[in-house]
Structures are given as C-alpha cells and as structure tokens.
Amino acid sequence: MSETRDKRRRTDLDLFILALIDGGVSTPYELQKTAGLSQGATIPALQRLLKARLVRRGKPGARRRTGYKVTAAGNRLLRDGWLPLIGADPSGDLDSDLRVALLAIWGSGDRRLATDFLRQSAGKKMESIAAAELTDSPGAVAPLARWYTDLRSEAAEALLTAESEAIRAMADSLPRSLTGKPRQSARSPKPRKAS
C-alpha cells in the first residue's frame, strides 16, 4: 500500500476506500457525497490503489465519471487487511480510529471488536489529558503568558474530553452488522480489553 511516516492512517483510508468501492461507492464524487470523504484524500488513495493493482478503472459513466472495481488482489486484501489495524493500538486520530472500527465490523461481523477499539481510542484521549497535566510547569511566568497558557490548556482539555465522550457514544451506537458482503477472515483477532 503506502509508505509514509504515518503509514497506518493511509493504510486504513486505502482499505476503507477499497471496502466502499466493493460496496458500490465507486467514483471520487460518490466517495465525497455518500461517504463524506474529501476528493483531496480520495484521489491520491485511488492512485495508490491503482498502482498496487488493488482496483481497476471502469468505463466512464454519467458525466464522464469513472468508477473503480476491486481486483482479485484487492478482495484478498479486504478479507484480512483490517486485522493488523484492529490489532494495533488506536492512533488517536478520530477519523482513522472510526474507519478501523467500521472495517472490523464489516470484515468480521463482530461488533465487540469495534466497540473495544473505540473505547481504547477514547481512553487514549483521556491519557493525553493526564500527560499534559503532568508537563505543566508552574513557575515564575509573566501573568499574561500564564493566563494564555492556562486558558489554552483548559480549552484543549475540554476538547479532548468532549472528543473522548463522543467516541464512547459512537462505540455504544455502532451497528450490530454492516450490510453488504460479510467477510470471513482466515484468522480471528483476539478480543481487546476495553479502557
């Protein structure tokens, strides 16, 4: 797939797009309109998928929009490609972690895997709040600077707390299964401990 410093984000996006294509969302326009993915992210992902021969271009359709089709190699990747993602710790990026959770439900039909993964993601947000509090260094600082840093810290903590609560709510509202082709993996991942 892709080689970058943050390889997992690209990997989960590429695999998510591959699953969407497999489910019939096959043009950059459809990926944007039906899945809410920006064309700025999907077009490079589609190019990576083409280069890796995981998808192929279809014939241009209405308004010259070209759809994509999953290849045999793409289907093999879809069957097990989500396993390393769900087996790793959450990245801390909300979009990435949500894609991984949905891929786990889609790939295994096991809602518990996805729920546990999202709960760990929420826990990671709360850990980052605790880590930030440990690094605060009260010292002789100019009052204006101190007020600024204190207020910025409070805002960051409030945002992380809200994001953590939103992730937990998402975990609770995950569907039991996703429609489409359920995929049976050759191996089943071990359940994750919830945070």
Q: Give the end of a domain, one of 55, 81, 107.
A: 81
- The answer to whether residue 186 is domain-embedded is no
Helix (H) or strand (E) run with residue 147 in it: helix 143-173
Evaluate whether 78 touches 106 at the Cβ level (below 8 Å).
no
Mean residue pLDDT of the chain comes to 83
Shared domain for 76 and 102, answered yes or no, is no
Shared domain for 102 and 73, answered yes or no, is no
Instruction: Give CA separation, 85 vs 11, 94, 156, 189, in Å.
Output: 8, 14, 27, 10
Specify the CATH number for the domain of residue 55.
1.10.10.10
Evaluate whether 125 touches 164 at the Cβ level (below 8 Å).
yes
Q: Give the end of a domain, one of 19, 48, 81.
A: 81
pLDDT surpasses 60 at 56: yes
- The answer to whether residue 182 is domain-embedded is no
Shared domain for 67 and 117, answered yes or no, is no
Domain count, the chain: 2
Write the pLDDT tens digit of every residue in 73-129.
999 999 999 999 999 989 888 899 999 999 999 888 889 999 999 999 998 888 877
pLDDT surpasses 90 at 21: yes
Domain that holds residue 146: 94-173
Shared domain for 77 and 100, answered yes or no, is no
- The answer to whether residue 178 is domain-embedded is no
- The answer to whether residue 118 is domain-embedded is yes
What is the Cα–Cα distance from 124 to 118, expressed in whole angstroms? 10
Shared domain for 64 and 22, answered yes or no, is yes
